[in-house]
Chains A and B, each alone.
Chain A
Amino acid sequence: MIEARDLTKSFGGKVAVDHLSFTVQPGRVTGFLGPNGAGKSTTMRLILGLDRPSGGEATIDGKRYADLVNPLRTVGALLEAKSVHTGRSARNHLLFLAQTQGLPASRVDAMLELVGLREVARRRAGGFSLGMGQRLGVAAALLGDPQILLLDEPVNGLDPEGVLWIRNLMKHLASQGKTVLVSSHLMSEMAVTADHLIVIGRGRLLANASTEDVIARGSGQSVRVRTPDPGRLTALITAEGGSAVPAANGNGEGNGTTDHAPVLTVTGVPAARIGELAASAGIVLHELTPQLATLEDAFLELTADSLEFGHLGTDLPGETASTGPATAGQATAGQATAGQATAGQATAGQATAGQATAGQASQPSKGSVR
Chain B
Amino acid sequence: MSVTPVTTDSVASTDQPWQGRRAGFGHDMLAEWTKIRSVRSTLWTLIIAIIVIVGFTALISWVVVANWNGPHAAARDARAISDPTSIIYGVAIYLGQLAFAVLGVLVVTTEYSTGVIRASLLAVPKRYTMLAAKVVVFTLVMLVLAEIISFGSFFVGALILHNHVSVSLSDHDVLRATFGAGLYLVGFGLFALAIGVLIRHTAGAISVAVAVAFVLPILTGLLPDTSFFNHLNAYLPEQAGSQIYLVRPTGIPLLSAWQGLGVLAIYIVVLLGIGAYLFDRRDA
Contact = CB atoms under 8 A, between A and B. Distances in A.
Most B C-beta atoms less than 10 A away, residue of A48, A52, A83, A87: A83
Interface of A: 45, 48-52, 65-66, 68-73, 75, 77, 79, 81-89, 92-93, 95-97, 99-104, 107, 110, 113-116, 131-132, 135, 140, 142, 145, 161, 164-165, 168-169, 172-173, 176
A69 B114 contact: no
A176 B116 contact: no
A115 B18 contact: no
Nearest to B41: A87
Given A50-B284, A102-B18, A107-B18, A165 B110 contact: no
B227 interface: no
B39 A87 contact: yes
Contact of B11 (A69, A93, A140, A176): A176
B14 interface: yes
A114 B4 contact: yes
Contacts of B159: none
Given A45-B283, A71-B125, A86 B114 contact: yes
A112 to B, nearest CB: 10
B32 to A, nearest CB: 8
Contact of B3 (A73, A75, A116): A116
B283 A52 contact: yes
Given A101-B27, A161-B3, A142 B283 contact: no
Contact of A81 (B8, B12, B118, B123): B118
B121 interface: yes
B121 to A, nearest CB: 6
Interface residues of B, number: 47
Counting chain B CB atoms within 10 Å of each CB, the highest count among A92, A101, A104, A115 belongs to A101
A131 B1 contact: yes
B163 interface: no
Nearest to A171: B6
Contact of A176 (B2, B12, B121): B12
Contacts of A73: 19
Given A70-B22, A145-B14, A99 B34 contact: yes
A72 B8 CA distance: 19
B27 A95 contact: no
Interface string B95-121: 000000000000000110011111101
